[in-house]
């Protein structure tokens, strides 16, 4: 079993696909960037010496129009400060919650040919990540 994750396992993706597809979803993204982006040899950005953060910015720039076209939006974004509950050694650089009108919109995005070209930037950027699906809940006074 890996201690780092960039892409979903087959089992996790099958579980995602088995969930309802006709309701809004929130996707929690936790990101740990590489010091230096790791592009495939010959890629147009391979020799630019970009940091992982810079490569992820390129991913956002190139995938953002597709994300917005399918109805996606960012509902929360933050920069990591410290782990309160969890492994002390675990750290993240950034986190955000992406909202989609439904999982069909997410599937539409990841199947888009331009998105598939853009995702190489995400892969080059990240040393580790987590992507967790949530069903949006109602607010309230308690937990």
Mean local confidence (pLDDT), 17-36: 97
Residue showing tokens 């930037």: 121
Alpha-carbon distance of 127 to 36, in angstroms, equals 10
Alpha-carbon distance of 19 to 36, in angstroms, equals 36
Strand, helix or coil for residue 64: helix
Query: Residue 138: its pLDDT value, please?
Result: 82
Closest CA to 122 of 50, 46, 37: 37
Domain ranges of the chain: 21-134
Alpha-carbon distance of 37 to 34, in angstroms, equals 6
Q: Does residue 49 carry a pLDDT above 90?
A: yes
pTM beyond 0.75: yes
Q: Does residue 40 carry a pLDDT above 60?
A: yes
Q: Does residue 1 carry a pLDDT above 70?
A: no
* Residue with more model confidence, 31 or 138: 31
Residues 101-133: tens digit of each pLDDT: 999 999 999 999 999 999 999 999 999 999 999
pLDDT band (50, 70, 90) for residue 11: very high
**Cβ-contact 133, 107 below 8 angstroms:** no
Domain 21-134 belongs to what topology? Answer: Alpha-Beta Plaits (3.30.70)
């Amino acid at each position: 079993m890996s201690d780092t994750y960039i892409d979903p396992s087959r089992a996790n993706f099958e579980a995602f696909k088995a969930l309802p597809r006709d309701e809004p979803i929130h996707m929690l993204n936790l990101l740990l960037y590489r010091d230096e982006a790791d592009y495939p040899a010959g890629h147009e950005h391979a020799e630019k010496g970009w940091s992982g953060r810079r490569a992820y910015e390129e991913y956002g720039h190139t995938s953002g129009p597709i994300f917005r076209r399918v109805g996606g939006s960012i509902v929360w974004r933050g920069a990591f400060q410290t782990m309160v509950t969890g492994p002390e050694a675990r750290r993240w650089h950034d986190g955000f919650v992406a909202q989609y009108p439904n999982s069909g919109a997410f599937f539409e995005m990841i199947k888009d040919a331009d998105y598939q070209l853009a995702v190489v930037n995400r892969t080059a950027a990240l040393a580790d990540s987590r992507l967790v699906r949530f069903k949006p809940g109602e607010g309230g006074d308690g937990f």
